[in-house]
Amino acid sequence: MLIDARAAENTTLECDLCVVGAGPAGIAIADRLRESGLSVVLVESGGFGLELPTQRLYHGDIQGADYFRLDACRWRLFGGSSNRWGGWCRPLEPIDFTRRAWLPFSGWPISATDLQPYYADTAKLFELTTAAFDLASWRGRLPAPLALEDTSFGNALFQFSSETNFGEVYRERLLTAKNIRIMIHANLRDIVLEKGSRRVGALLISTLNGRSITVRPKAVVLAAGGIENARLLLASKSDQPAGLGNEFDRVGRFFMEHLHVPVGHLLAAPGLELSSFYRKAFYGDAQLRGVITPCASAMNQNQLMGTSIAIEPSRYSFGTPFVGWPPSVTFGPVRRYKQWRKGHLKSVAERLKHAADQLQAIPNKIRTSSLARSAKNRADSGIPYEQVFSLYFRAEQAPAPANRVVLTERLDALGMPRSRLRWNVNPVDRANILGWLNHFDRDMRRRGFGHVVPPPDDWDRHIIGGPHHMGTTRMAADPRTGVVDAQCRVHSVDNLYIAGSSVFTTGGYANPTFTLVALALRLADRLKKLHT
């Protein structure tokens, strides 16, 4: 059933569960509960298409390191971030969940084994052919990677979905589910507790055309994204002056990114052919690529965090096209870019021309780096071009309480305070990347594979984010160190839950979407047990 809140009479809805946010996490939960018997209301701020007035509700401020516009690195419509992503799939590593004594604020209250039962169903939602990510499962079907035994590193695989748009793929079966109501153009404005209790009693919903709706649920899941989840809790002050779940000033803190940056080059030894294992390619129906990652034992021994190292062509054009552009000029190019990526153009010649045009349109800041140019210079000066490879890191960021989301005094069109992101790349984050670069150089030399050509001193000015928004409602056993417990329930509110990467305690190196959907399915099963 579909409800367009803009046309609804001012009314009250009752339900067993209200899910706020129809991105991958919210849709995964609703889909999991289609035949549960629970009455579910799925609330989405946007509609089924891109609408600038709604998208502008994401506008906010940034303090600290250079970052993407907050209204251009998130999508406020049905399907959420799945309308715009690259399809990278891999779960977090077991070490990512553990407490590392040398890494402050690390350690989830759950382990990797708690999520493994959900990986098969998560893979199906992403339209993957399998949930197997270990190399042993693919032995004999992939090119042989570098032999990294007796080094600090190993090889790892990413699978790629077909950039599954949850809003398009799962819309129809949610709309036809008897127990689900989808409410679009509906914006959560306040979360109100039952008087004298620790339970949510009402959600106050507003539309941009002035309608008001009250939802009275038995349970609530916030699934609005890593910045918006924190904003909604902080803005819900009718019962708690500091915001819901914020008794210990933890809501909004520990914002983390994956630090994407090219760092130097690998000059391969003469005669060494780097396997196509490190290139994105189809193997049967599965699209895969390999990366190099540090081993868990080396991480603990060297007290360094996770990262993946992608082996790229020497003049690799890095960055994410169109992220950071104003929303008013973003939507069209993104649609056309995604169509090109999926092979919708008719001929190879058309694709090549389109690619060149799109690349030329991308701002120079994210299109061509001085590192790539230096690789060309080295090749032109006598080093065989095919021996030079760019090293692209996608690194874990240390959880830091000063990296946070706060509210400003500026209000959006609904009268809600806008977000401000305070984010910096700290010395420990830079040291982590350079530390692994040095270890990689040592191991390449020792194995006779070549050596690393160091980056220039200003390499860190090329750092960008995923954009992957993690940690702002982090999971912890103790409410003094986190916002939600091991079941994703807000510590101080009995029937309020949070889904998405905002609950991540640490971020690892893997893109967050696969893990956050597995967490969402686990939460859906928990809610089904509690409320049926």
Per-residue pLDDT band at 353 (split at 50, 70, 90): very low
Cβ burial 109-126 (10 Å sphere, 16+ → b, else e): bbebeebeebbeebbebb
DSSP-derived letter for residue 470 is: B
- Residue 423, token pair as written in the block: 């984010």
Half-sphere exposure of 197 (CA within 13 A, CB side): 11
Neighbouring C-beta atoms of residue 301, cutoff 10 Å: 11
- Residue 130 pLDDT: 95
Say which residues have a Cβ less than 8 Å from residue 37's Cβ, sequence separation at least 6: 179, 532
pTM to 2 decimal places: 0.89
Domain-wise residue ranges, the chain: 1-59+76-126+162-257+467-532
Report yes or no: 26 and 42 within 8 Å, Cβ to Cβ.
Answer: yes
Give me the amino acid identity at 148.
L
- Residue 351, token pair as written in the block: 């694709």
- Residue 366 pLDDT: 37
Q: Which residue in the block uniquely carries the two structure tokens 């809600």?
A: 416
Q: Is 122 helix (H, G, I), strand (E, B) or coil?
A: helix
**pLDDT tens across 35-70, in order?**
999 999 999 999 999 999 999 999 999 999 999 999
Say which residues have a Cβ less than 8 Å from residue 487's Cβ, sequence separation at least 6: 497, 523, 526
Q: Write out the DSSP string of 164-227.
A: --HHHHSHHHHHT-TTEEEEES-EEEEEEEPTTSSSEEEEEEE-TTS-EEEEEEEEEEE-S-TT
- H/E element holding 517? helix 513-531
Q: Which residue in the block uniquely carries the two structure tokens 């819309």?
A: 171
Choose between 369 and 212: higher pLDDT.
Answer: 212
Per-residue pLDDT band at 385 (split at 50, 70, 90): low
- Residue 378 pLDDT: 47
Identify which of 281, 288, 295 has the alpha carbon closest to the alpha carbon of residue 137. Answer: 288
Phi, psi angle pair for 154, to nearest 5°: -140, 175
Superfamily the domain 1-59+76-126+162-257+467-532 falls into: FAD/NAD(P)-binding domain (3.50.50.60)
**For the chain, how many helices (H) and strands (E)?**
14, 19
DSSP-derived letter for residue 330 is: H
Residue 193 has pLDDT above 80, yes or no: yes
Determine if the peptide bond prior to 467 is cis (ω within 30°): yes
**pLDDT tens across 238-253, in order?**
888 999 999 999 999 9
Q: Which residue in the block uniquely carries the two structure tokens 């790539």?
A: 372
